[in-house]
Structure 1
Amino acid sequence: MKAIQIIDQGIVQLIDLPLPQLERGQVLLRVHYVGFCGSDLNTFKGLNPLALMPVIPGHEIGAVIADVGADVPSNFIPGMSVTVNPYTNCGQCAACENGRPYACEFNQTLGVQRNGAMATYIAVPWEKIIGDAAISVRDFALVEPMSVGFHAVSRAAVTDSDRVLVFGCGMIGLGAIIRAVRRGATVIAVDVSDEKLRLAQKLGAQYTINSITENLEERISAITDRRGADVVIEAVGRSETYTASISAVAFTGRVVYIGYAKEKIPFDTQFFVKKELDIRGSRNATPADFKAVITYLKTGDCPIDDFITAVIPPEEAQSALEHWSKNPGDVFRILVQF
């Protein structure tokens, strides 16, 4: 079977692998679509310190059940369209014992710390399968990244009285915007791409700011009556947006970081104290977040076609990642179709 492998910085190859052997409790999936995400791009660029190398990328999955192993519940039926919860947990670390296994200290995400789903077939434990007859196999490939954004909004405890500012309108940031809008919050979207900002507005963001062409501080001040945002969600992972989040948030506000910064960042920590901020990390997503995204997609309100920049065959993975690397503002999601 075909598989895509990132073998070194800037180098992708198409390899041939034997079909996975089903073990007890596993489900064999025929992969149809897998999304390239920001972590895959960073692995390709040599900027992902968590990544196994070489690695088969991919954890944003749209697949169909091909076969089931022994001891798999009878509701998992060949032909079902599904996605996969791509995280692992040890059951014994502090996060697991505190009921937050998605943030397990020893988590191994598909396509990052272990080989992922960019192959014709994969075998996964049945407990990781998420299905719904109302979602197409293609659209299932968008569920995981949106779930990460949904989770950040839950971490921020967003309510309908909050002004929520989201830095970054990629797939994860858009997920955060959707969830905050659905909770009734007033949403401010910030990006450097007018195209992405137009999509954020289409999804319900009441205000948009292009931080290249507009004065970020002045616009936030005007929108929030000089108070700052009650909640800031950072979905970029750059030093500029990390520090701008502290400036943009209101006194006693909440800051949630999703993006992985690639370098050490100096903070003026006096504002942590002066503003008495709640500063939180947000990692991965819970089963409830996956369910919430699926519920949203079933409303029919999501302009899904606008999220998909390109659908490519595996043979074009190298050129697609090269293009994304050189033109980050032009890409929402690239789906690889097997």
Structure 2
Amino acid sequence: MKTLTLHQPGHFEFADVPFDPTLANGHALVRVVCIGICGTDLHAYRGNQPFFTYPRVLGHELAVEVLALQGDPYGLKVGDFCAVEPYLDCGECQACRRGLTNCCEKLRVLGVHTDGGMVEYLKIPTGKLHPSNRLKKEQLALVETLAIGGHAVERAELKPDDLVLVVGAGPIGLSVVEFVKRSGATLVVADRDENRLRFCREKMGVGHTLLAADDSTQALRDMLQGDLPTVVFDATGNPNSMMKCFDYCAHGGKLVFVGLFQGDVSFHDPTFHRKELTLLASRNATSHTFRTIINAIENGRMDTTPWITHRVVFDALPDCFPTLLKPESGVIKAIVEMPVLSGSVAE
């Protein structure tokens, strides 16, 4: 089986790896058809992805085709095309027993904690496959990215009269933007890159954007008629940005950390208490969010057209990958297209 492995930062290598197609009960054999390139993959390539070990097969934003099934198929059929929920939970810990599988105590994410989808074939638990034979294959590969933002917005419990600030207009921030728009709340997007802000305005219909500075508090008040955001989402994973967001929240507001970094967050406790802020973390997503997104795209309530800015064929990925790191490339979301395979899985 053709496999692309990141052996160390900056070094991909193809290899022909033996693959056993034998399935355990409750699993499916799938063919990978599209892979979305995530910020996690870019950070891993640079060597600054937290909680990451090498060598690793990347790829967790996946569209797949079901080739075989064993045991309870959750309604799946051979030939179904599916989005993959790449969060492999234990099903037994306290979080899992409460239905919070996205923050399982023993969670393994494909392409991060265990090898992922930059391969021809995978074996996946059937409960982690979300079928749609109406979506394009590349749309299925977008579902996981969108689910990150969808879950974060669910955590915030937005209301139409909320004033919302999204800090960071990378793919994860844009996934948050997508769901904030659907809530009807007033939205401001802040970023240090004017090109990303232009994308928000021209492609995503965002009416208020802010070129972020070291302190944007007064600029926010000017934009919001003297008020501050009632909900702030930080999608940067940058410690300075995350800690500054405490200042941007209105009294009685909420702060949601979508991005993360390997370190400590500190804040001024009297300010935190005086404002009576609610601090929330958002991790991954749930099966419910995946199904909600697929239904919204199928029924035309969510437009994925602006998202995909770059397409790469699998064989060219090692050579093309460094260009995806460059800001001047204008990448929002790159999709890797897998070749159509012939012959048996075991070949």
The answer to whether residue 15 in structure 2 is matched with residue 19 in structure 1 is: no
C-alpha displacement of 1:19: 3.3
| Match runs of 1:270-289 below 5 Å | 270-289=270-289
The answer to whether residue 180 in structure 2 is matched with residue 180 in structure 1 is: yes
Partner of 1:60: 61
The 1:20–1:50 alpha-carbon spacing in structure 2 relative to 1, beyond 3 Å, is: farther
Partner of 1:41: 42
Asked whether the equivalents of residues 164 and 188 of structure 2 are also in contact (C-alpha less than 8 Å), the reply is yes
In 1, Cα distance between the equivalents of 2:215 and 2:133? 46
Where does the alignment leave 5 or more consecutive residues of structure 1 unmatched? none
| Match runs of 1:123-272 below 5 Å | 123-201=123-201, 202-211=203-212, 216-272=216-272
C-alpha displacement of 1:251: 0.7
C-alpha displacement of 1:93: 3.0
In 1, Cα distance between the equivalents of 2:324 and 2:141? 18
Scaled by the length of structure 2, the TM-score of the pair is: 0.90
C-alpha displacement of 1:266: 4.1
The answer to whether residue 35 in structure 2 is matched with residue 28 in structure 1 is: no
Partner of 1:313: 313
Partner of 2:342: none
> Residue by residue, what CA displacement relative to the aligned partner does 1:298-326 show, whole Å, maximum 9, x if unpaired?
24354534211211122333333322333
Bigger mean CA deviation after superposition, 218-227 or 100-109:
218-227
Bigger mean CA deviation after superposition, 8-17 or 250-259:
8-17
The 1:136–1:100 alpha-carbon spacing in structure 2 relative to 1, beyond 3 Å, is: same
SS at match of 2:67: strand
The 1:283–1:328 alpha-carbon spacing in structure 2 relative to 1, beyond 3 Å, is: farther
SS at match of 1:236: coil
Supply the AA of the counterpart residue of 2:81.
S
C-alpha displacement of 1:263: 4.2
In 2, Cα distance between the equivalents of 1:247 and 1:318? 42
Asked whether the equivalents of residues 65 and 78 of structure 1 are also in contact (C-alpha less than 8 Å), the reply is yes
Bigger mean CA deviation after superposition, 187-196 or 136-145:
187-196
Bigger mean CA deviation after superposition, 107-116 or 187-196:
187-196
Asked whether the equivalents of residues 221 and 227 of structure 2 are also in contact (C-alpha less than 8 Å), the reply is yes
SS at match of 2:88: coil
In 1, Cα distance between the equivalents of 2:195 and 2:293? 23
Asked whether the equivalents of residues 204 and 306 of structure 2 are also in contact (C-alpha less than 8 Å), the reply is no
The answer to whether residue 111 in structure 2 is matched with residue 111 in structure 1 is: yes
Asked whether the equivalents of residues 28 and 67 of structure 1 are also in contact (C-alpha less than 8 Å), the reply is yes
Asked whether the equivalents of residues 108 and 114 of structure 2 are also in contact (C-alpha less than 8 Å), the reply is yes
In 2, Cα distance between the equivalents of 1:278 and 1:104? 23
| Match runs of 1:73-84 below 5 Å | 73=73, 75-84=75-84
SS at match of 1:304: coil
> Residue by residue, what CA displacement relative to the aligned partner does 1:146-197 show, whole Å, maximum 9, x if unpaired?
1000100011111111111111122221111111111111111112233322
In 2, Cα distance between the equivalents of 1:173 and 1:238? 13
> Residue by residue, what CA displacement relative to the aligned partner does 1:119-164 show, whole Å, maximum 9, x if unpaired?
1111111111101222111110000011000100011111111111
C-alpha displacement of 1:47: 1.4
Scaled by the length of structure 1, the TM-score of the pair is: 0.92
SS at match of 1:147: helix
In 1, Cα distance between the equivalents of 2:91 and 2:77? 28
In 1, Cα distance between the equivalents of 2:218 and 2:328? 26
In 1, Cα distance between the equivalents of 2:296 and 2:95? 28
SS at match of 2:309: strand
How many positions carry a matched residue from both structures? 336
Identical aligned pairs, as a percentage? 29
Bigger mean CA deviation after superposition, 98-107 or 310-319:
310-319
Asked whether the equivalents of residues 254 and 280 of structure 2 are also in contact (C-alpha less than 8 Å), the reply is yes
Supply the AA of the counterpart residue of 2:196.
K
Asked whether the equivalents of residues 74 and 127 of structure 2 are also in contact (C-alpha less than 8 Å), the reply is no
Where does the alignment leave 5 or more consecutive residues of structure 2 unmatched? 339-347
The 1:168–1:247 alpha-carbon spacing in structure 2 relative to 1, beyond 3 Å, is: same
C-alpha displacement of 1:281: 0.3
C-alpha displacement of 1:22: 3.1
In 2, Cα distance between the equivalents of 1:273 and 1:40? 37
C-alpha displacement of 1:117: 0.9
C-alpha displacement of 1:25: 2.0
